[in-house]
Amino acid sequence: MTVKIVTDSLSDITDDNSGGLDITVVPLTVLFGRETYLDRVTITTEEFYRRLTTQDIVPTTTQPTPQAFADVYNRLAEETDEILVITLSSKLSGTYQSAMGAIEMMEKKCRVEVIDSQTVAMALGLVVLAATRAAQEGMRLDALVDFVHQALSRAHFLVYFDTLKYLAKGGRIGKAQGMLGSMLSIKPIITIKEGEISPVTRVRSQAAGIEYLYNFATSFPHIEALAVEHSTQPEAADRLVDRLAVSLPDKLIVRSVVSPVLGTYAGPNAIAVTVLEGTGI
């Protein structure tokens, strides 16, 4: 039986970019005050960013309940005896705990392994896609766990934020706190390091930011896959994809949209790039 792969909506995997692979995406919840939405299920990314930028209310997010994971496990257990769950960083959300807690609530006997990816967005997404392909080729759960850990160490994620406003509002700023006090309007480039938001550098314009992302992506000697994401400007992300496609022909470039959950912090006009480094073999 094929190992079934489960992830959360922070992986930025959607029907459009998963190439028909069998991946179950458990949505986190986005709250605008008392209105709750399931990430990308009951609210589209477009609608989310429209409300984020036009309304005063600061959206918040919460992890899926253990029950949401348990329902998925129980359903998948009908079809398989091994499930692999890969969640976003446990330092940014309690999703990992929910996924773990749900194991206790299972009705049917089935092995479940949960991996805390210590990252987000397509850095998680590209690894999930690779793991799903490996599972379909017959890799079993124990080997998959090693495979995912190894792949995660090769996933490099950078995101350009057009503003620090949303990061500050959301409170989950980690080591980027030092960037907030700037007297100038600066735009940070951020990564996820050891599971937490961590500053990389600062630029003063989106053009300079995208240039930085481009140079970053093209600096790797071996690349297995790439991903480019936007929050509100698909054209800007598409232009970056076009440039990358020229310098890195034959490379898979996955397009996605930054999840509303991450968008709560990234705000509008953000652009993210992920490189899944190749092993060179």
Binding residues for another protein, rule: CB under 8 A, are 62-63, 65-66, 94, 97-98, 101, 168-169, 171-173, 175, 177-178, 180-186, 191, 193, 198-205, 207-208
Report the greatest alpha carbon distance in the chain: 58
Output 44 or 219, the one with its CB closest to another protein. Answer: 219
Distances in whole angstroms, Cα of residue 240 to Cα of each of 58, 93, 107, 120? 30, 30, 47, 21
Cβ closest to another protein, residue 139 vs residue 161:
161
CB of 207 to another protein, least distance (A): 6
Say which residues have a Cβ less than 8 Å from residue 176's Cβ, sequence separation at least 6. 164, 167, 188, 190, 197, 198, 199
Compute the distance between CA of residue 127 and CA of residue 149 in angstroms, rounded to an integer: 9
- Compare residues 14 and 201 and give the one whose CB is closer to another protein: 201
Pick between residue 50 and residue 204 the one whose CB is nearest to another protein: 204
Least distance CB 95 / another protein (angstroms):
9
Of 9 and 45, the one with the shorter C-beta distance to another protein is: 9
Phi-psi bin for 259: left (phi > 0), alpha (psi -120 to 50), beta?
A: beta
Q: How many CB atoms lie within 10 A of CB 171?
A: 10
CB 65, min distance to another protein, A: 7
Of the candidates 148, 125, 152, 141, the residue with the CA atom closest to the CA atom of residue 253: 125
Tokens at 154, concatenated:
């090769």
Minimum CB–partner distance for residue 182 and another protein (Å): 5
Rounded least distance, CB 91 to another protein, Å: 9
| Amino acid letter for position 92 | L
